[in-house]
Amino acid sequence: MKVAVIGAGWAGMAAAIAHAQAGRKVIVFEAARTVGGRARAVPGALPDGTPVTLDNGQHILIGAYAESLRLMRLVGVDTDKALLRLPLTLQFPDGQGLQLPDLPPPLDAVLGIIRAKGWHWRDKLALLRTASAWQLRGFRCAPQTSVAQLCAALTPRLMAEFIDPLCVSALNTPACEASGQVFLRVLQDSLFSGRGGSNLLLPRTDLGALFAQAGAHWLAQQGGQVITGQRVQRLQPLPGGRWQAVCTGGIAGDAATPEVFDHITLACPSWEASRLVDGLAGMAGPDGPDGPAHASRWSAAASALRFAAITTVYAHARGARLPQPMLALRNTAQHPAQFVFDRGQLDGQHGLLAFVVSASDGDRARIEQQVLQQAAVQLALPPLQPVQTVVEKRATFACTPGLQRPGQQILPGLTACGDYVQGPYPATLEGAVLSGAAVATWV
- Rounded CA-CA distance 180/160 in Å is 17
pTM: 0.94
Query: What per-residue confidence (pLDDT) applies to 294?
Result: 86
- Give residue limits of the domains in the chain: 2-39+208-306+401-442, 41-63+201-205+307-397, 88-193
Model pLDDT, residue 291 = 67
| Per-residue pLDDT reduced to its tens digit, 342-360 | 999 999 999 999 999 999 9
| pLDDT grade for 257, boundaries at 50, 70 and 90 | low
SS3 (DSSP) at 333: coil
Architecture of domain 41-63+201-205+307-397: Alpha-Beta Complex (3.90)
Q: Average pLDDT, stretch 263-275? A: 97
Instruction: Give the pLDDT mean for 399-422.
Output: 96
| pLDDT for res 194 | 84
Which residues contact residue 66 at a Cβ distance below 8 angstroms, ignoring those fewer than 6 apart? none
**Can you tell me the mean pLDDT for 427-435?**
96
What digits encode the pLDDT tens for the residues 68-103?
Answer: 999 999 999 999 999 999 999 999 999 999 999 989
Rounded to whole angstroms, how far apart are CA atoms 403 and 295? 19
Residue 284: the pLDDT is: 45
The answer, yes or no, to whether residue 253 has pLDDT greater than 80, is: no
239-248, 333-342, 394-403: range with lowest mean pLDDT: 239-248
Mean pLDDT for 298-306 is 96
| Angle formed at CA 181 by CA 178 and CA 184, multiple of 5 degrees | 100
CA angle at residue 66 from 63 to 69, to 5 degrees? Answer: 85
* Mean pLDDT across 121-126: 96
Contact (Cβ atoms closer than 8 angstroms) between residue 75 and residue 217: yes
pLDDT at residue 430, as a whole number: 96
Kindly tell me the sign of the dihedral angle through the C-alpha atoms of 164, 162, 379, 389: negative
Averaged pLDDT score across all residues of the chain: 93
The number of residues in the chain equals: 443
Q: Class for domain 2-39+208-306+401-442, per CATH? A: alpha beta
Average pLDDT rounded to a whole number, residues 277-291: 66
Q: What is the crossing angle of helices 10-21 and 66-74, to 10°?
A: 60
- In which band, very low, low, confident or very high, does the pLDDT at 283 lie, cut at 50, 70 and 90? low
pLDDT of residue 193: 80
> Among residues 113, 108, 111, which one has the least CA distance to residue 198?
108
Cα–Cα distance, 36 to 429 (Å, whole number): 11
**pLDDT reported for residue 286:** 47
Q: What percent of the chain has pLDDT over 70?
A: 96
